Amino acid sequence: MREGGEALTQFPGECRGSNPKGGKMDRERASQAKGTPDGTPEGPPLVAVCQLTSTDDVDTNLRECEDLVCRASVRGARAVFLPEASDFLCGSGSQASGLTQGLDGPIVQAFRDMARRHGVWLSVGVHERGPTWSEDGRVYNSHLLLDEHGEVRAVYRKTHLFDVDLPGVVRLKESDYTLPGPCIAPPTATPIGMVGLGICYDVRFPEFSQRLRQSGAEVLTYPSAFTLTTGMAHWEPLLRARAIETQCYVVAAAQAGRHSTPRGSAPAPRVSFGHGVVVDPWGCVVAQCGHGNSLALAEVDTGLVRNVRSSMPVHEHRRHDLY
């Protein structure tokens, strides 16, 4: 599946593939998403899941994000999902700290302007200065949800920090420079349904997604920057599992590829797995990005969410007296 993938709108049944050439199907969907001439909406809204290769060049990253948001809007998306760390990815915690701004800074303002200019809801991962940033340089890994007017409707700060050491493969210790978020953000009402916010590593904790489901989420979103090693092994199984067990859509925008060129004695550049996807509540991958900076479209049908949940009411079957 690749850019312009066709969304699944049936249940139960086989997972259907994408329309690999896009074209007419995308134009028809864009027309439906924008509505009829008298303004009456037709069909489920479209979302765009995006893939990006952020570097330490903030201005270039913002231009790439703007291009993706523009392309998604032109094709009829009501909501656009950008990856974790869409503002920048760099080789060290100290460099990241130096580039990080507050939520009132020009980076977030640029994303607010994008949402307003293109008339879309925008989910985006950014770095945010923590309360002790001026003393220790530590930051939050934050996920913002902006409405079509560019207003910040929700902020979630990553609660599970990625500390991993696979000898000879990958070593990352996010807690060296990142503060854990204090809470889970409640789901937010949007044109595509109730959206619950996570970030990357949060997808490995089923209790997290269940809390969002219990709070009313119909769509879960995990902007991410999975490593090659963990992505090849776990990316799609984790996302499909979260969709199946919560009976939610899962939208996972992804960082992809090589993020910077080593300078001098700097460590080798980080490489991310990519494969941004949308998974429906039956667990089918209904859209997937191609290589590099790209996007894919999918319908998000809350009627399908209700159908899946009523046909298989696992939420009501949970044994709260036992676990």
pLDDT, tens digit (0-9, with 9 covering 90-100), for 183-235 = 999 999 999 999 999 999 999 999 999 999 999 999 999 999 999 999 999 99
Q: What is the pLDDT of residues 64-106, one digit of tens each?
A: 999 999 999 999 999 999 999 999 999 788 899 999 999 999 9
- Catalytic amino acids? 84, 158, 200
Record the tokens describing residue 154, joined without a space.
């929700």
Whether the predicted pLDDT of 22 surpasses 70: no
- How far, in Å, CA of 286 to CA of 267, rounded? 37
Stated pTM of the model: 0.87
What pLDDT band is residue 1 in, cutting at 50, 70 and 90?
very low
Locate the domains of the chain by residue range: 24-317
| Token pair 């995308």 in the structure block, residue | 26
- How far, in Å, CA of 85 to CA of 185, rounded? 18
Q: How far apart are the first and last CA of the chain?
A: 38
| Helices and strands, number each (H, E), in the chain | 9, 16
Q: What is the pLDDT of residues 243-272, one digit of tens each?
A: 999 999 999 999 999 997 555 545 567 899
Sequence-distant (6+) residues with CB within 8 A of 268 are 262
Q: 62 vs 31, 87, 89, 112, 228, CA distance in Å? A: 28, 7, 12, 12, 24
Strand runs (DSSP E) across the chain, as ranges?
A: 46-52, 77-81, 121-129, 139-146, 152-157, 163-166, 170-173, 188-190, 193-197, 219-221, 249-252, 254-258, 271-273, 277-279, 285-288, 294-299
Q: What is the CATH superfamily name and number for domain 24-317?
A: Carbon-nitrogen hydrolase (3.60.110.10)
Read off the pLDDT of each residue in 141-164 and give the average, rounded to a whole number. Answer: 98
Beta bridge partners of 246: none
